């Protein structure tokens, strides 16, 4: 069976150029980049090159990039590191209700430790309301953390406007750009961003590596203690092959960003149009234009998204219901709830995430299979057509 992968928001395959740059670092260039001898220096040269490439891609200095085990660690570090280092100034953090669990769970932990967190509502598209953000900033506020783009519904926030507010109010601004890197142009200097998290495996790099950008001069505590790696701020022997691959992946993903985004979004738009034309009661979540080019979060009336996912899987098609981090749990998606989607449509939602190698033939095949599956499931649906979208809170 020819398999079709439409779950690129969850993870992506390694690009062949990325892999070939990584390979020598598993075997011949095996030194510890922190060792002072030639073996160490050879490995360090690979790490330095990756740091340069990433700094160049996001518009910062190489010494403002700190490697981590992924965006989860980078998000944990940004929040806790800033909270602890600035607790003498204030104990209030502002975030949104639709952040990734690595932000929300860290915030919950900080609340247990005596910090106060405001979780901003979002509108029906998933945008943070700027007037609400302004309203909640107080003299106690030390950090605003708002994701650049949402992993479930694809909405891209007005990051520049949020950053401007943070600057005006003298509050630090962190953004989780994990889904946005390679899809949205991000220049941390131009946009005056203080901290930014991102990850390698969403952009055809290896898993288990990411980074936190920390603007020079921003006071941040470490949360991982040990050796003096990463300027003494993040202990642990560097994962050299992964870092080398990450650097190459960032370079490739940001180099052709406009052309790739155009290509992927036009296929994604075709996919949405085809679904809307061929299947009744199909609704797009998030904003129709200000969204990630590869994301189509679709609610199907009168069907269960998980059943669609399993039936597509039997056809070799990979999609996801909520995000990979929360699917597997039977809880409805908090992101879809936050945008006010009625409960039956929350249950009927599937996230399709394309890549630049997705083809029109694949999309046509997926649409054909979806037509059959949705028709079949609707025949046995306990929800009637008249009830679709009207039973909020009942499920």
* Contact residues: ligand PMP, CB under 6 A: 70-72, 75, 100, 102, 147, 151, 176, 178-179, 199, 210, 323, 325
* Residue 187 phi, psi (nearest 5): -125, 105
Q: How far is the CB of 198 from ligand PMP (least distance, A)?
A: 8
291 touches 156 (CB < 8 A)? yes
- Using Cβ positions, the residue closest to ligand PMP within the complex turns out to be 70
The CA-based angle 338-390-376, given to 5 degrees, is: 100
Cα 59 off chain centre by:
20
CB 230 to ligand PMP: min, Å: 17
CA distance 72 to 121: 22
- The answer to whether residue 60 is catalytic is no
- Rounded CA gap, 295 and 269, in Å? 10
Q: Tell me the two tokens of residue 119.
A: 């979780």
**In the complex with ligand PMP, which residue's Cβ is closer, 78 or 261?**
78
Closest separation in Å from C-beta 94 to ligand PMP: 17
Cβ proximity to ligand PMP, 31 vs 210, nearer residue: 210
Bridge partners of 351, per DSSP, are 297, 320
What are the tokens at 12? 């992506």
Cα distances (angstroms) measured from residue 211 to each of 51, 100, 200, 230: 10, 16, 8, 11
- The CB-of-209 to ligand PMP minimum distance in angstroms stands at 8
CB of 80 to ligand PMP, least distance (A): 15
DSSP readout, 276-328? HHHSSSEEE-S-SSSB-TTEEEEEETTS-HHHHHHHHHHTTEE-BSS-TTTBT
Q: Which pair of tokens denotes residue 355? A: 């890549």
User: Which backbone phi and psi does 224 adopt, to 5 degrees?
Assistant: -120, 120
Catalytic option among 325, 343, 377, 391: 325
The distance of closest approach from Cβ of residue 12 to ligand PMP in the complex, given in angstroms and rounded to an integer, is 11
The least distance separating ligand PMP from the CB of residue 237, rounded to whole angstroms, comes to 19
| Cα 368-3-209 angle, rounded to 5 deg | 125
Nearer to ligand PMP, 86 or 178 (CB): 178
Integer Cα distance of 283 and 142 in angstroms:
38
According to DSSP, the residues that pair with 172 across neighbouring strands are: 143
- Dist. CA 52–CA 324, nearest whole Å: 31
By C-beta, is 86 or 175 nearer to ligand PMP? 175
Residue whose CB is less far from ligand PMP, 42 or 99: 99
Spatial contact of 189 and 163, defined as CB atoms under 8 Å apart: no
Which among 1, 2, 3, 11 has a CA at the least distance from the CA of 355? 11
3-state helix, strand and coil shares in percent for the chain, rounded to the nearest 5 = 40, 15, 40
C-beta closer to ligand PMP: residue 147 or 370: 147
We find the least distance from the C-beta atom of residue 73 to ligand PMP, in angstroms, to be 7
* C-beta closer to ligand PMP: residue 89 or 207: 207
CB-wise, 47 or 147, nearer to ligand PMP?
Answer: 147
State the Cα angle at 229 between 246 and 245, rounded to 5°.
Answer: 10
Q: Which residues are catalytic?
A: 325
């Amino acid at each position: 069976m020819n398999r079709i992968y439409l779950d690129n928001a969850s993870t992506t395959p390694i690009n062949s150029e990325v892999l070939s740059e990584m390979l020598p670092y598993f075997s011949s260039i095996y030194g510890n980049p922190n060792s002072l001898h030639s073996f160490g220096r050879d490995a360090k040269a690979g790490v330095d090159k990756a740091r340069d490439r990433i700094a160049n891609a996001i518009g910062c200095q190489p010494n403002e990039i700190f490697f981590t085990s992924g965006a989860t660690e980078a998000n944990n570090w940004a929040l806790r590191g800033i909270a602890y280092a600035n607790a003498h100034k204030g104990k209030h953090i502002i975030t949104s209700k639709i952040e990734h669990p690595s932000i929300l769970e860290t915030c919950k932990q900080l609340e247990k430790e005596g910090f106060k967190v405001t979780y901003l509502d979002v509108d029906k598209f998933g945008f943070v309301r700027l007037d609400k953000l302004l309203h909640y900033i107080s003299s106690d506020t030390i950090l605003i953390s708002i994701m650049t783009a949402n992993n479930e519904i694809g909405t891209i926030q007005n990051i520049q406007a949020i950053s401007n507010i943070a600057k005006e109010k003298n509050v630090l601004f962190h953004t989780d750009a994990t889904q946005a890197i390679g899809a949205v142009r991000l220049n941390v200097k131009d946009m005056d961003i203080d901290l930014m998290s991102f990850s390698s495996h969403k952009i055809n790099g290896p898993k288990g590596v990411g980074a936190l950008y920390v603007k020079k001069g921003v006071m941040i505590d470490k949360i991982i203690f040990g050796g003096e790696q990463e300027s003494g701020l993040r202990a642990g022997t560097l994962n050299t092959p992964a870092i080398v691959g990450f650097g190459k992946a960032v370079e490739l993903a940001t180099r052709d960003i406009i052309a790739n985004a155009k290509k992927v979004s036009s296929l994604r738009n075709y996919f949405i149009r085809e679904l809307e034309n061929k299947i009744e009661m199909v609704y797009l979540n998030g904003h129709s234009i200000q969204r990630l080019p590869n994301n189509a979060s679709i609610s199907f009336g009168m069907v269960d998204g998980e059943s669609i996912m399993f039936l597509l899987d039997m056809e070799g098609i990979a999609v996801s219901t909520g995000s990979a981090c929360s699917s597997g749990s039977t809880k409805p998606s908090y992101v879809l709830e936050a945008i006010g989607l009625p409960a039956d449509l929350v249950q009927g939602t599937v996230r399709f995430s394309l890549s630049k190698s997705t083809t029109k033939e694949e999309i046509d095949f997926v649409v054909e299979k979806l037509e059959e599956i949705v028709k079949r499931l609707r025949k046995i649906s306990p929800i009637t057509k008249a009830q679709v979208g009207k039973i909020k809170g009942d499920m």
